[in-house]
Structure 1
Amino acid sequence: MNGLTISRRSAILGALILPGCTAITRLNAAAEPRDTFDLRPVDLGQGRAITRRTLLVADATAPVALATDRMLIRSGTQSIAYLPDARWSDDVPGLVQLLLVQSLSSSGQIGFVGVPNAGPIPDIVILTRIDRFDVDVLDGAGLRAVLDLTCTLLRDRDQRVITSQQFARTLPVGNDSGAAVASAFQRLMNETLPEITAWTLRNIA
C-alpha cells in the first residue's frame, strides 16, 4: 500500500449522493472517526544546483468540493459523494502544495523552495490550480482516479507569466476503500511530481 494509514482501517463508498457542492455542509456535520491517509513526496535526489533563484510555491486553489480533506467521488456530471470513513491528512490544496514543496526541494537544483511568508523574497512563484483530485464512477461500476493540475510560473518582481502547463492523468482504482484510493493517488503523484519538477527547472534555469 502506498498511502499511509494513520488510524483505524475502514473505508467504503458512502450512500450519500448530493447534487453539486451542497454536499459540503451536510458532510461536514459527520463526526465519526475516519481513517487518515497521507501521500509521500517524490525524492528526486540531490542533483547539481542549476539555479540560485528562489521559488515560492503559492497556496494551491481548487473548487469548493475539493477544498476539503474528504475523498471525493463523482457519479455522472452532477452528483458527488465522499468516502464516509476516510480522509486525507490535510485538505487537498494543502496536501498538493506540501508535496510540491518537498519534491521540488529534493531535487537540490533550486536555490530555495518555500511557502508564502517563509524564507527570502522569491524570484519565481509557482501557482497551482487543482481541477481534479477525485474518483470517477464508471459505467459498469469501475472506478478511476483522476488528477488534473495546471501550474503557472510567475516572475515575482513584475508579475509576468513565464509559462503554464497542464498535468493530467488517470488510473484505475481497485475498489472503493480509502486505502485503494490513496494508493492510486500516490502512484499518480509519483509520475506527476517529477514531471512538474523537470518542467519547472527547464523554465527557471
Structure 2
Amino acid sequence: MTKKPSFQKKVLSCSRLAKTGLVSVILVGLAACGTGPAPTTYDLSAPTTGIKARLGGQIVIATPTALQALSDQNIVVRNETGAMTFLGGGQWADQLPNLIQARLINTFENGSKLRAVALPSSGVIADYQLVSDVRAFYVVTPGNEAVVELSVRLVNARTGQIIRGKVFTAKRQVGDGLNAGSAAVALNDALSSVLLEIARWVG
C-alpha cells in the first residue's frame, strides 16, 4: 500500500517579515499586521514510495503552463458556473507552476533518478523534455471536491518531436468544511497521486 506523502505547512509571521530588511516586504508585513493575521503558507509534497520510473536517458522538466488564475499563490475555488474565486487565509509557498515543477522533479529524485532529471536552465544536455499544462488545480463547489489535472507531453529534446502525451487527473474530497487548510490538504493529496502516475508513465 502506497504511503501518503507528508504534508507540510508553515506560517509566515509579521515578525519574520519585519526582519527581512526589504522595504517592500516590511510594508506588506506591517499592512498584514494592521489588518489581521498573515495568511498561512502551504507547501506541496512529492511521493516518496511506490515510484517506478526507468528512464532511458536524461530528462529536463519544464515549468508547467497555466491560466492566469492558476499561476499565482492563491488557493482557487471554482463553482458550477465556472467562476473562480480565492480562498482567504492561505496561500501556496510559491507560484503554483513553479511549485508543481519542483515537486515533479522531487518525485523522480525520490525514485532514485537524481542523476537523470534536471531543470532546463541546469545546462544538462537532455534526451527528453517533459512539458505540461495545469488544466485544473482547484476545489469545485458546491461538492467541495479537489480536482488536479495535468496535461503532459514527452518531447524528444533533440528533434522537438512529441513522443507521446497523456492527461492525468485525480480528485479528492475536502474534509472538515471548506477552508484554506482543508483545501490545501485535499489538493496536495490529489497532486501526489498525479505525480506518481506521471513518473510511472514516463518510465
Aligned to 1:39: 44
Task: For 1:63 and 1:129, locate their aligned partners in 2 and report how far apart those are by CA, in whole Å.
Answer: 9
Of residues 6, 13, 36 in structure 1, which corresponds to 2:10? 6
SS of residue paired to 2:163 = strand
How far is 1:76 from its partner?
A: 2.5
SS of residue paired to 1:100 = helix
Aligned to 1:22: none
1:89-109 residue CA offsets vs partner (Å, 9 max, x unmatched): 011111110110010122124
Unpaired segments ≥5 residues, structure 1: 10-30
SS of residue paired to 1:95 = helix
Aligned to 1:158: 159
Of residues 129, 135, 141 in structure 2, which corresponds to 1:137? 141
Question: Would you say 1:92 and 2:93 are equivalent positions?
Answer: no
How far is 1:172 from its partner?
A: 1.1
The 1:146/1:50 distance shift into structure 2, 3 A limit, reads closer
Of residues 77, 98, 112 in structure 2, which corresponds to 1:108? 112
Range that drifts further, 186-195 or 86-95: 186-195
Amino acid at match of 1:38: D
How far is 1:169 from its partner?
A: 1.8
SS of residue paired to 1:190 = helix
How far is 1:111 from its partner?
A: 4.5
Amino acid at match of 2:75: M
How far is 1:171 from its partner?
A: 1.3
Q: When the two structures are superposed, what TM-score results if normalisation uses the length of structure 1?
A: 0.78
Task: For 2:133 and 2:70, locate their aligned partners in 1 and report how far apart those are by CA, in whole Å.
Answer: 11
How far is 1:3 from its partner?
A: 3.4
Amino acid at match of 1:178: A
How far is 1:190 from its partner?
A: 2.6
Q: When the two structures are superposed, what TM-score results if normalisation uses the length of structure 2?
A: 0.79
Task: For 2:185 and 2:163, locate their aligned partners in 1 and report how far apart those are by CA, in whole Å.
Answer: 34
Aligned to 1:187: 189
Identity %: 24
Question: Would you say 1:173 and 2:177 are equivalent positions?
Answer: no
SS of residue paired to 1:103 = helix
Task: For 1:3 and 1:82, locate their aligned partners in 2 and report how far apart those are by CA, in whole Å.
Answer: 21
Range that drifts further, 107-116 or 55-64: 107-116
The 1:167/1:46 distance shift into structure 2, 3 A limit, reads closer
The 1:51/1:80 distance shift into structure 2, 3 A limit, reads closer
Contact 2:174 2:182 in 1 (8 A): yes
The 1:171/1:157 distance shift into structure 2, 3 A limit, reads same
Of residues 57, 68, 74 in structure 1, which corresponds to 2:72? 68
Q: As a proportion of its length, which structure holds more helix?
A: 2
The 1:162/1:2 distance shift into structure 2, 3 A limit, reads same
Unpaired segments ≥5 residues, structure 2: 14-30, 33-37
Task: For 2:200 and 2:65, locate their aligned partners in 1 and report how far apart those are by CA, in whole Å.
Answer: 22
Task: For 1:197 and 1:64, locate their aligned partners in 2 and report how far apart those are by CA, in whole Å.
Answer: 26
